[in-house]
Amino acid sequence: MPLPADLAPLPAWGFAFPGPLRDELTALALAGTKTTTAALFAEMEVDGESLPIPGTREILLDSDERAVAVIETVDCRVVRLADVDDRHAIDEGEGYANAAEFRIAHERFWNGYIDDLRARLDDPGFALDDDTLVVLQRFRIVERLDRP
């Protein structure tokens, strides 16, 4: 089913990669449990993506690339990986008790495709460390797009 005309021009994206993790994260966001997400600044930069601006609305996609919700960025900041705070980590809704648990899980995820990322960045030495910049986005669901 195509998007309504007023939503068609909005940028669209999904959490992680299509599959079980995206399905889980999408469900957490739709339930209101997940209100933050994180991305590598270098990856956004190489992909030509702009930083989310508060008030900007985007389409959230599920694993089948179907639009499931309209989200609005509430806040966005770029920080060093070492400076991710506990509040952001907890608000990811994935059960992290603090920023240390967030870091372990996110480094595992990002390192899972680090060779691809190094190739895209044309930087064979790219590695995650305290100074790696991450984009921390806080969002809210403004409309669910329940599709048959």
Backbone angles phi, psi at 90, to 5 degrees: -65, -40
Assess if residue 5 is contained within a domain: no
Nearest to 15 by CA among 4, 27, 3: 27
Task: For 25-63, write each residue's pLDDT tens digit.
Answer: 999 999 999 999 999 999 999 999 999 999 999 999 999
- Tokens 């339930």, residue located: 31
Number of domains in the chain: 1
pTM: 0.92
Per-residue confidence at 148, pLDDT binned at 50, 70, 90?
A: very low
Residue ranges making up the domain that contains 126: 12-138
Assess if residue 106 is contained within a domain: yes
Nearest to 147 by CA among 67, 70, 89: 67
CATH value at residue 95: 3.10.400.10
Give strand ranges (E) for the chain: 12-13, 36-40, 57-61, 67-80, 133-144
| Dist. CA 1–CA 7, nearest whole Å | 13
Assess if residue 61 is contained within a domain: yes
Please tell me the predicted confidence (pLDDT) of residue 1. 58
